[in-house]
Amino acid sequence: MRTIAIAIAILGTSLGALAQEGELDAMRGHVPLLEERTPEPLYNVENNDLRRIRAYPMQPPTIPHKIDNYQVDLNANRCMSCHSRQRVGDTQAPMISVTHYMDRDGNFLAELSPRRYFCNQCHVPQTDAPLAVENRFVDVAEILRQRRETQE
Amino acid sequence: MIKRIKTLFSVFWRVFHSPSGYFSLGFLTVGGFIGGVLFWGGFNTAMEATNTERFCISCHEMRANVYEEIQPTIHFTNRSGVRAVCSDCHVPHDWTDKIARKMQASKEVWGKIFGTINTREKFLEHRLEMASREWRRFEANDSLECRNCHDEGAMDFTRQSSRAAAAHRRGLIDGDATCITCHKGIAHELPDMAGVEGWE
């Protein structure tokens, strides 16, 4: 009798937790786990080929074009078929920076360094999706300008 | 029994040898015409059957490899619902060229029987060889199968992204590139591209 009561209690709390989890999961948009939610619309990928400025000097530049189904794996690197040193003459794409030809000891290699091979680890295309969280980032140039203004 | 077969055969041979002695000219003409139509229709139907997607993916070599790979690409799934099936790109639409390609394809039957690519490993091992063959074919016929749908004369460059428009003007109009020169691996995964021109 006691075991049954304990079992029911455990089941009750876990079910409650399950339901609560479904409520709290913001990624699913507050839809219970057992219900299927209507997916968000897909947003358009920026494809205007215009370079964005970098938010800070070391920022990896964003990709101003679509990269749907670009193959980057052991066999082929679609990005490098335009952006590699040898290819930019034909394609007029910006060449990847010299740091991508350096290994971690600073030696220059003939080819793209293996640690830089997967472009999407740093470079990403942009979409017109609304911001999911507020962004309070301020460009350092803007901070300096404000500083100058207050000092004057 | 044997005698009866022999007589039957000699009668058949006599008629077959000079049918005009037994049948009227009209019957032979009309009969020949109808027979011709039936033969031609049958031949063409059979050949068209080998051009369907169902036929191609009836072999696991195609279904498990290249058919799987085309599914996320634009030629299989897209907003307007136009789909290119295997033969749209891999078989010329022109009759003479189609027959020539079908004869070449008889070697693929050999490969099927002897299991040249019957596992994923074997398939990947042969992938560069097979892909190179298709690239050569497209280079040679100026990407004819692409152009069956994508005609550069009908392309509105102003509706393309500026990058695409510039590349097409440079390669396709002013240069001597053909579609496959740049658009390799557009419908299937690429083999190891080390050493392939344009993929340094």
Residue A82 annotated as part of some ligand binding site: yes
Contact by Cβ (8 Å): B175, A92: no
Q: Rounded to a whole number, what is the distance in angstroms from the first to the last CA of chain B?
A: 77
Each residue's pLDDT tens digit, B77-91: 999 999 999 999 999
Chain A closest CA to B102's CA: distance in Å? 30
Contact A74/B at CB under 8 A? yes
Contact by Cβ (8 Å): B135, B190: no
Each residue's pLDDT tens digit, A106-116: 999 999 999 99
Chain A closest CA to B193's CA: distance in Å? 6
What is the percent of chain B where pLDDT is above 70? 100
Each residue's pLDDT tens digit, B99-135: 999 998 888 889 999 999 999 999 999 999 999 999 9
Flag if B163 and A65 touch (Cβ within 8 Å): yes
- pLDDT given for residue B55 in this prediction: 93
Reported as half-sphere exposure (CB side, CA atoms, 13 A), residue A148 has a value of 6
Residue A18 structure tokens? 């399950």
Chain A closest CA to B192's CA: distance in Å? 4
Contact by Cβ (8 Å): B98, B155: no
Spatial separation of the C-alpha atoms in residues A139 and A55, rounded to whole Å: 6
SS3 assignment, position A84: coil
Neighbour-count burial of B126, counting CB atoms closer than 10 A to its CB (0-12 exposed, 13-18 middle, 19+ buried): middle
Place of tokens 């009866």: B4
**Model confidence at A57, in pLDDT bands (50, 70, 90)?**
very high
The residue ranges of DSSP E strands in A37-146, in sequence order, are none
Angle at A87 between CA A83 and CA A90, to 5 degrees: 115
Annotated binding site of B: 56, 59, 62, 86, 89-90, 108, 146, 149-150, 179, 182-183, 188
Chain B closest CA to A106's CA: distance in Å? 22
Interface test with A, best of B135, B172, B193, B196 (most A CBs within 10 A): B193
Domain boundaries, chain A: 1-39
pLDDT at B196 over 80: yes
Flag if B193 and A69 touch (Cβ within 8 Å): no
- DSSP one-letter code for A108: B
Flag if B163 and A49 touch (Cβ within 8 Å): yes
Widest distance between CA atoms in chain B: 84
pLDDT at A55 over 90: yes
pLDDT at B137 over 80: yes
Q: Which of B120, B105, B107 is nearest to B68 (CA)?
A: B120
Distances (CA, A) of B157 to B75, B80, B165, B173, B195: 20, 20, 5, 11, 32
Helices (H), ranges, chain A: 2-24, 80-83, 88-91, 140-151
Residue B132 structure tokens? 């190179």
Topology classification of domain B33-149: Multiheme cytochrome fold (1.10.3820)
Spatial separation of the C-alpha atoms in residues A18 and A16, rounded to whole Å: 5
Flag if A87 and B72 touch (Cβ within 8 Å): no
**Phi/psi at A40 (nearest 5 deg)?**
-65, 150
Task: Tell me the chain A residues in contact with residue B170 when contact means C-beta distances shorter than 8 Å.
Answer: 92
**Phi/psi at A84 (nearest 5 deg)?**
-75, 165
Domain boundaries, chain B: 33-149
Chain B closest CA to A62's CA: distance in Å? 16
pLDDT at A6 over 70: no
- pLDDT given for residue A5 in this prediction: 65
Task: Tell me the chain B residues in contact with residue A68 when contact means C-beta distances shorter than 8 Å.
Answer: 74
Contact A80/B at CB under 8 A? yes
Interface test with B, best of A44, A65, A91 (most B CBs within 10 A): A91
ipTM over 0.95: no
Interface test with B, best of A42, A44, A88, A90 (most B CBs within 10 A): A90
Each residue's pLDDT tens digit, B33-75: 999 999 999 998 998 898 999 999 999 999 999 999 999 999 9
Q: What is the mean pLDDT of chain B?
A: 91
Q: What is the mean pLDDT of chain A?
A: 85
Annotated binding site of B for a menaquinol: 89
Neighbour-count burial of A30, counting CB atoms closer than 10 A to its CB (0-12 exposed, 13-18 middle, 19+ buried): exposed
| Residues across chain B | 200
Task: Tell me the chain A residues in contact with residue B189 when contact means C-beta distances shorter than 8 Å.
Answer: 71, 75
The residue ranges of DSSP E strands in A35-143, in sequence order, are none
Task: Tell me the chain A residues in contact with residue B161 when contact means C-beta distances shorter than 8 Å.
Answer: 47-49, 65-66
Torsion of CA B54, B58, B59, B60, to 10 degrees: 100
Q: How crowded is residue B56: how many other Cβ atoms within 10 Å of its Cβ?
A: 19
Annotated binding site of B for heme: 56, 59, 62, 86, 90, 108, 146, 149-150, 179, 182-183, 188
**Model confidence at A34, in pLDDT bands (50, 70, 90)?**
confident
Q: For residue A88, how far is the Cα from the chain centroid?
A: 25
- pLDDT given for residue A64 in this prediction: 94
